[in-house]
Structure 1
Amino acid sequence: MSLRGHRAGNVIEAPAPRDGARWGRVEAAGVVGTVVESYDFALFGLGAALLFGDLFFPAASPGTGLLASLATFAVGFFVRPLGAFVLGNLGDRVGRAPMMVLTLVLMGLATVCIGLLPTYESAGLLAPALLVFLRLVQGFGAGAEYVGAILVVAESGGARSRGLRASLPGTGFFVGVLLATLAFTLVSLMPAAEFAAWGWRLPFLASVVTVLVGLYFRLSIGETQAYREFRAADRPPRFPIWEVLRRRPRSVLVATFANGPMVALYYLVQVFVLSYLTQVLKMPSALGLTANIVATVVAIVTVPLFGALSDRVGRRPVWFGGSALLVVFAFPLFGLVQTREPVLVVGALALVAAGVAAMVAAQSALFAELFETRYRFSGFALARESSAALIAGPAPFVAAALLQRSGGATWPIAVMVVVLGAVGFAAILFAPETRHVSLTRPAG
């Protein structure tokens, strides 16, 4: 075995030993759970963009119904910081592995229950009330799901290929989006009346399968290497989230202002642009779904490539490249979409997906490396989910409102994309390069 180490500031970090079978389970546990999270959230986003306005808010005008539906989508983000606060603290105090099981169950059960909901026609106001409640449950679980998945993988090995390994849950995220989009596309091929009556429920009910698969993997892994070493040498803080705010405020701020714009940019494309194509430009929903499928496949392929690149050149350069692409392409994006040419629409969304993929890949390892083990879960989750609630969740709703106020003009939304990309770019300027940091020792 090689005795070479990796330099982490003034510390040489020896490569961690690998056990092939255990590593396969660890990586699968991280990826599969994230597939479930993104499948659940993507399904809700697709339903909000294409269907929920008619099923749960039919008393409103078409434009107002879309706003109400997208507002319900945003509600799930508002409770995510609470999930990050509660579950992140528990993740630092009792371990990463138990939280991975809990978040998976919360999100999966909520999604299955959405598939069983009555509509406004049969239950009146109770229907949208239950929809909002289940969306809140989804959001609470999601407040710790993705971060926990990244930490399970990142904390179980050395620094040499951490960028690649930590990016794998990001790949799982896009796999879940792809599965949700494919499922929705298939059921949308049904006769319109059957699709609206019961066909839309099938993808939500199918979430029970992904939950069972995720549980199989997550119940088979133990605690992470970094957390085991920390607990052997120290006690967890009583309130990790307060400690990280006191000792690492700069890291929290960097991660917050970098993550929010990135996630907002993704949901602008995945939710708003889809609704814009179908409800404003009156293009077939199949085209919008096809464009999302192609863009998601591009992300699935490029996220691990960008993760591996971050191991070679650093986390910051990869992030800068992705955000710069989105800033430059903001105005051409809507120009290409408005041509209504299928090839141009699909190509535009695929290029945006590559930019988002670069940031997703760089984020995974970078944010984990910004915090010490004793409060890593809390710091990462709080920064990610508070920015998601404040910036990312409302983004499709704000874009739809801007479209209404501007009389259908898209330039205000393009400006919004430029501003978001620039904020994320600026935030990473204040981040250190972390690719050689040891996750089993205090951050430098």
Structure 2
Amino acid sequence: MLRARLEGETVTSTNDASTNAPQARPGQPSDDPEYAANLRRATLASSVGSALEYFDFALYGLMTALVFNVLFFDQSDPAIGLIGAFAIYGVGFVARPIGGLVFGILGDRLGRKWVLVVTIVLMGGASTAIGLLPTYEQVGLLAPMLLVLMRILQGFGAGAEQAGATVLMAEYAPVARRGFFSALPFVGIQAGTLLAAVVFSVIALLPEDQLLSWGWRVPFLSSFVLILVALFIRLRLRETPTFVELERHDQVADRPLREIFTRGLPGVVVGIGLRMAENGGSYIFQNVTLAFVATAGAGAFLANPLDRGVATWGVTIGSLIGIFSVPLSGHLSDRFGRKAVYRFGAVFMLLFAFPAWWALSLGIGWLAVAVIAIGIGVAVNSMLGPQCAMLPELFGNRHRYLGVAMARELSAVLAGGLAGVLGVSLLTLTGGAWQVMALYVAVIAAITTATTFLVPETRGRDLLRIEDAVRLSTEEEHTGIIITEARA
């Protein structure tokens, strides 16, 4: 056992898992019935929450490109309505870091479980309320104002939801298979996105007057069922072993916000860089591509726009691929390391950017479906799989929730939130020039590719450790301290 004192704290790491007390490990032996039951509950609790969040967000994105721009804005200028709809879509991303900050602090001080209970109610309740909103024709400017309010509440809850699910599973998962198990709840992301695309494809079959009068409301109102299911599961969940260990040793952070801006800032910065291509690419391929190929009328980008139902099949198939590619890439990161798998996804997106947008510009239905499906299912999700374990591994135990939340949600604003409004604005300003969007995708992919060369390998890191991986890596280079990581 090797020990080192960094920043006045004692840090211990070991290669001998047997020397640790059972409750002190993020993962217990697989033949422990109690641990196995808690692992199943954690996986289910995280998966249902992820499914609800991405069902709502993917559905909102689909509605933004094809419905909300008509219902919530004056139609005297369709292009302004489309930009306005995507701007409100981006408001949810602006609210997410605030929610991540508030609930991240609470998650590091009070525990992971109860924060996840609160966020699912807040996020799901706001999403359900969207289905009850009046339209621009009914109440004028009050309609987009109410939509903004619901997006703020939705984003506020979602800001801590995914960070909580990520931390929860990483802290419960067996160390040697942490990449795989941490990726499993994010199958819920694909399931939620898939469900949203299928639901939207079905309601898109309605006559346009019925779709715009009542059909669009049904999916939002039905999300109430998912709220009840997720709430029931999470109330039965136990606190994570790593947070229990913090409480047992009286190490819970009194000021996690101060810690994250003093010790944890390098981890937040590299986390943002890692997320630029994954998060930005996700929303570009889910939403901006649909606006590009399916927008009709005066604001159309293509001479012969595709039918909106055809275009959404790309999202559907991409999400179906993701159900397999996310856990697969998580598993591969357990074998070959987080960095190698993550870098593959970033480089793939970089090389894919220009051929993809050129193909979309041709306006061929099956080709557009294939491009969107590959962009989501392969390019984006081959980064999402290793990211599920990598982000929690970047941060120390005392401020892990807040660190993951800040890295995820600040990147969600810079990458995901800007993707819609900036992408559509660029297309509008250039008359639908596909090259600008190809360059946009290539730039964010290049940022993430470069970041993979700056971040340390985190596979198998002991999540009971107090110091961050990025900070520790820098200190080791300058002090020569060697700390052997646990490989359970």
Q: TM-score, normalised by structure 1?
A: 0.96
Percentage identity across paired residues of the two chains: 38
* AA in 2 matched with 1:165: F
Residues in 2 aligned to 1:108 and 1:387: alpha-carbon distance in whole angstroms: 22
Residue 298 of structure 2 is matched in structure 1 by none
| Match for residue 164 of structure 1 among 180, 192, 208 | 180
| Match for residue 360 of structure 1 among 381, 384, 394 | 384
* AA in 2 matched with 1:400: V
Deviates more, 1:243-252 or 1:352-361: 243-252
Residues in 2 aligned to 1:397 and 1:248: alpha-carbon distance in whole angstroms: 31
Q: Which has the larger radius of gyration?
A: 2
Listed one character per residue, the Cα deviations across residues 1-44 of structure 1 (whole Å, up to 9, x for unaligned) are xxxxxxx9654445623433322111100111111111111111
Residues in 1 aligned to 2:453 and 2:247: alpha-carbon distance in whole angstroms: 33
Task: Please tell me whether residue 334 in structure 1 is matched to residue 350 in structure 2.
Answer: no
| Match for residue 256 of structure 1 among 262, 272, 275 | 272
Residue 386 of structure 1 is matched in structure 2 by 410
Which SS does the other structure have where 2:452 is aligned?
helix
Residues in 1 aligned to 2:361 and 2:276: alpha-carbon distance in whole angstroms: 27
Q: Taking structure 1 as reference, are residues 357 and 39 closer, same or farther at Cα in structure 2, changes over 3 Å only?
A: same
Once the two structures are TM-superposed, the CA of residue 60 in structure 1 deviates from its matched residue by: 4.5
> Any runs of at least 4 consecutive aligned residues in structure 1 with deviations exceeding 4 A, and if so which?
8-11
Which SS does the other structure have where 1:206 is aligned?
helix
Residues in 2 aligned to 1:60 and 1:93: alpha-carbon distance in whole angstroms: 51
Residue 94 of structure 1 is matched in structure 2 by 110
- Structural RMSD (CA): 1.4
Which SS does the other structure have where 1:79 is aligned?
helix
Listed one character per residue, the Cα deviations across residues 234-282 of structure 1 (whole Å, up to 9, x for unaligned) are 2322220220221122211100121133211110110100111111331
Counterpart contact for 1:107–1:138, Cα < 8 Å: yes
Residues in 2 aligned to 1:131 and 1:266: alpha-carbon distance in whole angstroms: 23
Task: Please tell me whether residue 36 in structure 1 is matched to residue 36 in structure 2.
Answer: no
* AA in 2 matched with 1:434: T
Residue 435 of structure 2 is matched in structure 1 by 411
Which SS does the other structure have where 1:195 is aligned?
helix
* AA in 2 matched with 1:234: D
Once the two structures are TM-superposed, the CA of residue 391 in structure 1 deviates from its matched residue by: 2.7
Residues in 2 aligned to 1:289 and 1:120: alpha-carbon distance in whole angstroms: 25
Once the two structures are TM-superposed, the CA of residue 124 in structure 1 deviates from its matched residue by: 1.2
* AA in 1 matched with 2:333: S
Counterpart contact for 1:260–1:384, Cα < 8 Å: no
Counterpart contact for 2:104–2:402, Cα < 8 Å: yes
Task: Please tell me whether residue 374 in structure 1 is matched to residue 398 in structure 2.
Answer: yes
Residue 450 of structure 2 is matched in structure 1 by 426
Residue 191 of structure 2 is matched in structure 1 by 175
Residues in 2 aligned to 1:401 and 1:70: alpha-carbon distance in whole angstroms: 9
Residue 96 of structure 2 is matched in structure 1 by 80
Residue 169 of structure 2 is matched in structure 1 by 153
Counterpart contact for 1:13–1:158, Cα < 8 Å: no
Which SS does the other structure have where 2:407 is aligned?
helix
Once the two structures are TM-superposed, the CA of residue 59 in structure 1 deviates from its matched residue by: 4.0
Residue 28 of structure 2 is matched in structure 1 by 16
List gaps (5 residues or longer) in structure 1: 1-7
Counterpart contact for 1:13–1:438, Cα < 8 Å: no
Task: Please tell me whether residue 47 in structure 1 is matched to residue 63 in structure 2.
Answer: yes
Task: Please tell me whether residue 276 in structure 1 is matched to residue 300 in structure 2.
Answer: no
Residues in 2 aligned to 1:237 and 1:22: alpha-carbon distance in whole angstroms: 25
Residue 5 of structure 2 is matched in structure 1 by none
Residues in 1 aligned to 2:114 and 2:181: alpha-carbon distance in whole angstroms: 21
